[in-house]
Structures are given as structure tokens and as C-alpha cells.
Amino acid sequence: MFKTIIAPVDGSDPAKHALSTACELAKTFDAELHLVHTPQIDTTMVAVGYSVVELPLTAEKIEEAGKAVMDSALAQATEAGVTPASTHVLAGDPTETILKIAKLNDADLIVMGRRGLGSVASLFLGSVSQKVGHGAECSVLTVH
């Protein structure tokens, strides 16, 4: 039924639950599992006395954080008995990145958390999972 499954990860509990479901489906259907992570950077501000100072995030720190999320997802998949066919840590818009990886791999299914680490703005603008559901050319399973 499913030959290629995409599992977006962001380190959140819903993403971990979704990855667990994706691993079970991959084992059940002997499907390839592809992991994707798009680091999202919020500005870091620190109050110093009566002023606020912005701490710039370096490319190295962003890459390091993305690697940590992916390493954790790889460990979870391996523990579940699945060796992912590929991993992708890419900068950019999460929705566009997920849809691009799904299309490149001719995915049958995207399994993702219903809510992740998205901002309050996503409550008004729509979450990544909602946008992926609208834009995907394959089935999308959202996990709580």
C-alpha cells in the first residue's frame, strides 16, 4: 500500500509520536522512510538593564541545532527497527521543504505531528501540517 513515507521532524512531542507511527507503517508495508527537518529560527532577545539586546544566531549554531534534532530522530527510528533511506536538514519554509522532499521521493504518505514547535502566529495563519495537507500530492496522516 505505501512504498515511500516522509516523516518531518522538529523535536516536538507530536513529531516524535508521528515518527513512531511512521516507523510502524514503514515496517508493516516494507516502505522506505525519509526524514526531513527544517530548522526554524526565532530571534533571541536578552534584557540587559533597561535595554534589550538581540543575540545573533550563527549558521554554525543553526546547523548544530538541526543536526541534534535529526540525530534524535535517527536514534528513535533505529530503536524502532527502521533504517531511514535518507535524511534531509534543509533551510527554508517547512511546508515547501516537506512538499519538495515528498515530490522528489515520489512519496505515498507523509506522516507528521498535528502541532509542532510552530509559533502563535500559526494559530491564525495555519499550521505546517494544515498547509502540507492542502498542498500534498499524496496522503497525509497527522498524529496528535
Mean pLDDT score, 22-28: 98
**Beta-strand pair 109-113/51-55:** unpaired
pTM of the predicted model as reported, rounded to 2 decimal places: 0.84
Q: Report the range of poorest mean pLDDT among 7-21, 39-53, 66-80.
A: 39-53
The rounded distance, in Å, linking the Cα atoms of 101 and 96 is 9
Cβ count near 94 (within 10 Å): 24
Cβ count near 33 (within 10 Å): 23
Mean pLDDT score, 97-118: 88
The per-residue pLDDT for 65 is 84
pLDDT for 73-104, tens place per residue? 999 999 999 999 999 999 889 999 999 999 99
